[in-house]
Amino acid sequence: MEKRYAIGVDYGTESGRALLVDIATGEEVATHVTPYPHGVIDETLPGTGRKLEHDWALQHPEDYLEVLRRSIPEVLRASGVSPERVIGIGIDFTACTMMPLDAAGTPLCLVGNWKDNPHSWVKLWKHHAAQEEANLINAKAGERGELFLARYGGRLSSEWMLPKALQILNEAPDIYAEADCFMEAADWVIMQMTGSFVRSSCTAGYKGTWHKRDGFPSDAFLASLDERFKDFATEKLRGPILPLGAKAGELNEQMAALTGLEPGTAVAVGNVDAHAMVPAVGVVTPGKLVLAMGTSTCHLLLSDKEVHAEGIAGVVEDGIVAGYYGYEAGQSAVGDIFAWYVNESVPAYVQQHAKEEGIGVHEWLERRAAQQKPGESGLLALDWWNGNRSVLMDSDLTGVMVGMTLQTKPEEIYRALLEATAFGTRKIIEAFQDGGVQVDELYACGGLPQRNRLLMQIYADVTGREIRIADSTQTAALGAAMFGAVAAGVEAGGYDSVADAAKNMARVREESFKPMAKNVETYNALYEEYVKLHDYFGRGGNDIMKRLKALKSG
């Protein structure tokens, strides 16, 4: 039988990439990355020069179509695969990355003069300027005993849909009123590809506070936040919500012309980037925690029971793999913290040495840091450079580094930052375990595990567990392609379920990272100190981070 292929398109923070995959084997035949022409918009609004406030992060919706326009033809060209052999497409996206649309489905930032107001643009997942709204939602939901709150670890993140939309209502009521609806970028791109106005159970569940049986938070609750917000769910989040694995529709003529694919190609319901990675590392059963490590880290776990505990950013039935409760937790910055250090803080001599040795600054620092023993630098950091998404759920928390002296070296700071993110992950694992959700095995995927071996050894040592690594550098796109194959269905040469797709298409590497006993011991001691710092700054012992932030905002 002739080979069949699927395409997965992974929409990350800085770029989007397409991956063309052999459906029978999971072989990754061709890949292409399109950096977003406008990148992350966090300083000035395009076309206006208007300065954005602290904690804002926007994107340009046309960049998403640019990824389809450039990367899909390129994977077809590079692979030589003819379009009719591509039977399904799936996409995955960062989330909650949301936008207001007009009645024709056009983002308001592309309509008339709305572009001059930053609230008309796409709010990227890491837009952190809705913390006040998140605080209000959490306080009101707590007071009213709203049941949904427990499914989100007792606190909604400021990154999620409700706080972001409420911020628009508060600061730009005209845009809120003008918006016919709000949509996750994942669902919007699917609508552009197929013409189908459908939402994904994954984006709706984790980010939109939707529940399979209870639906969205009630009108009464929404009205308790602001009378004008009463109809938010029924009007502005309206539309059918389809489960993962379902077909959203078929590629329309316009998108077929744009991408070079055949009209009528099956298109899967949109997925979230981290969630798509789970079946792509072969995880389709409970107890296996997947660390999706990139700009941020998401921690994903399947279970056959629903429990509510601090540290769980969301639990959604069928939210990752049908038939299980899917749990998500996360750290809002991981790779982004290392990027901050490399871009903003290393001395010129480090860059010079790296250049002379013909390696990148990350690699140079990693090599040096690998020569140190745990604890040797006397440094300890908190991993809150972009707030805390689990277990404290507070984007007003900031970074800390303790123990610096005149002898402190750049590689020591780099290592302390790697370690801080590992401690943050251990805290999340303990939160799952303490909450009664079993974690038996660890799997790592995303951009970081294959780029930084020291990082993975530190994670094994800090958690005291073996870590298996995905065999793909494009795990999210592979997962998206798997859902594309499921949308196409077994009759077209695809699969009936993502579990079936995973049997043939998912892979992990032979090599794993195993904890080293001596390191584990030192890290146990350091972790105790981390927990003390964490609780001191994060649980009200000293609110200095919030006071400083308030001063900064003026």
Ligand X SMILES: O=C(CO)[C@@H](O)[C@@H](O)COP(=O)(O)O
Ligand Y SMILES: Nc1ncnc2c1ncn2[C@@H]1O[C@H](COP(=O)(O)OP(=O)(O)O)[C@@H](O)[C@H]1O
For the segment 109-148, give every residue that binds ligand X (CB under 6 A). 125
Q: What are the start-end ranges of the H helices in 128-231?
A: 131-144, 161-171, 173-178, 185-194, 201-206, 219-225
What are 515's two structure tokens? 């904890």
Binding partner of 62, given ligand Y, ligand X, none, CB within 5-8 angstroms per partner class: none
Binding to ligand X by residue 320, rule CB under 6 A? Answer: no
Binding to ligand X by residue 388, rule CB under 6 A? Answer: no
Amino acid at 224: S
Complete DSSP assignment for 456-485: HHHHHHHHTS-EEEES-S-HHHHHHHHHHH
Binding partner of 125, given ligand X, ligand Y, none, CB within 5-8 angstroms per partner class: ligand X
Rg of the chain (C-alpha set): 23
Binding to ligand X by residue 271, rule CB under 6 A? Answer: no
Q: How far is CA 330 from CA 5, 178, 439, 523, in A?
A: 32, 33, 15, 21
In angstroms, what is the minimal distance from the CB of 302 to ligand Y? 22
Instruction: Indicate the residue among 327 and 513 with the shorter CB distance to ligand X.
Output: 327
Q: How far is CA 361 from CA 335, 416, 417, in A?
A: 14, 16, 15
Binding to ligand X by residue 94, rule CB under 6 A? Answer: yes
Q: Is 367 exposed, middle or buried (0-12, 13-18, 19+ CB in 10 A)?
A: middle
Select from 303-311, 332-340, 491-499, 528-536 the region that touches ligand Y (CB under 6 A). 332-340
Interface mask (CB under 6 A) for ligand Y, residues 413-432, using x and -? --------------------
Name which position in 24, 29, 307, 339 contacts ligand Y (CB under 6 A). Answer: 339
Which of the 8 DSSP states describes residue 270?
A: P
Binding partner of 452, given ligand Y, ligand X, none, CB within 5-8 angstroms per partner class: ligand Y
Binding to ligand X by residue 153, rule CB under 6 A? Answer: no
Q: Tell me the C-alpha distance between 327 and 371, whole Å.
A: 36
Taking residue 525's Cβ as centre, other Cβ atoms within 10 Å add up to 11
What are 335's two structure tokens? 């790779």
Binding to ligand X by residue 424, rule CB under 6 A? Answer: no
Instruction: Indicate the residue among 209 and 252 with the shorter CB distance to ligand X.
Output: 209
Binding to ligand Y by residue 42, rule CB under 6 A? Answer: no
Binding to ligand Y by residue 223, rule CB under 6 A? Answer: no
Instruction: Indicate the residue among 68 and 101 with the shorter CB distance to ligand Y.
Output: 68
Contact 310/328 with Cβ under 8 angstroms? no
Binding partner of 451, given ligand X, ligand Y, none, CB within 5-8 angstroms per partner class: ligand Y
Contact 300/313 with Cβ under 8 angstroms? no
Q: Tell me the C-alpha distance between 335 and 366, whole Å.
A: 13
In angstroms, what is the minimal distance from the CB of 13 to ligand X? 4
Instruction: Indicate the residue among 125 and 182 with the shorter CB distance to ligand Y.
Output: 125
Binding to ligand X by residue 202, rule CB under 6 A? Answer: no
Instruction: Indicate the residue among 300 and 499 with the shorter CB distance to ligand X.
Output: 300
Name which position in 31, 265, 296, 475 contacts ligand X (CB under 6 A). Answer: 296
Cα torsion 284, 286, 289, 291 to 10°: value is: 30
Contact 275/300 with Cβ under 8 angstroms? yes
Q: How far is CA 290 from CA 11, 14, 99, 440, in A?
A: 19, 22, 29, 11
Select from 187-195, 291-299, 455-463, 526-534 the region that touches ligand X (CB under 6 A). 291-299
What are 274's two structure tokens? 């981290």
Instruction: Indicate the residue among 451 and 465 with the shorter CB distance to ligand Y.
Output: 451
Binding to ligand Y by residue 362, rule CB under 6 A? Answer: yes
Name which position in 55, 66, 273, 461 contacts ligand X (CB under 6 A). Answer: 273
Binding to ligand X by residue 204, rule CB under 6 A? Answer: no
Select from 48-56, 266-274, 459-467, 490-498 the region that touches ligand X (CB under 6 A). 266-274
CA atoms in the 13 A half-sphere facing the CB of 469: 21
Q: How far is CA 133 from CA 24, 159, 554, in A?
A: 47, 10, 19
Q: Tell me the C-alpha distance between 283 and 300, whole Å.
A: 10
Omega into 81 within 30° of 0, i.e. cis? no
Beta strand 266-268 with 58-59 is unpaired
Instruction: Indicate the residue among 303 and 395 with the shorter CB distance to ligand Y.
Output: 395
Binding to ligand Y by residue 451, rule CB under 6 A? Answer: yes
Cβ density class 129-161: b for 16+ within 10 Å, e for less: bbbebbbbbbeebeeeebebbbbbbbbbbbbbb
Q: Between vectors from CA 181 to CA 266 and to CA 257, what angle results, nearest 5°?
A: 35
Binding to ligand Y by residue 410, rule CB under 6 A? Answer: no
Binding to ligand Y by residue 338, rule CB under 6 A? Answer: yes
Select from 188-196, 294-302, 493-501, 525-533 the region that touches ligand X (CB under 6 A). 294-302
Interface mask (CB under 6 A) for ligand Y, residues 363-392, using x and -? x-----------------------------
What are 26's two structure tokens? 């999971």
Binding partner of 339, given ligand Y, ligand X, none, CB within 5-8 angstroms per partner class: ligand Y
What are 283's two structure tokens? 């995880």
Select from 73-81, 237-245, 308-316, 334-342 the region that touches ligand Y (CB under 6 A). 334-342
Binding to ligand X by residue 274, rule CB under 6 A? Answer: yes
Interface mask (CB under 6 A) for ligand Y, residues 271-310, using x and -? -----------------------xx---------------
Interface mask (CB under 6 A) for ligand X, residues 2-31, using x and -? ----------xx------------------
Binding to ligand Y by residue 484, rule CB under 6 A? Answer: no
Q: Tell me the C-alpha distance between 508 and 519, whole Å.
A: 25
Name which position in 20, 298, 301, 392 contacts ligand X (CB under 6 A). Answer: 298
Interacting residues toward ligand Y by CB under 6 A: 12-14, 294-295, 335-336, 338-339, 362-363, 446-448, 451-452
Interface with ligand X by CB under 6 A: which residues? Answer: 12-13, 94-95, 125, 206, 272-274, 294-296, 298, 328, 330
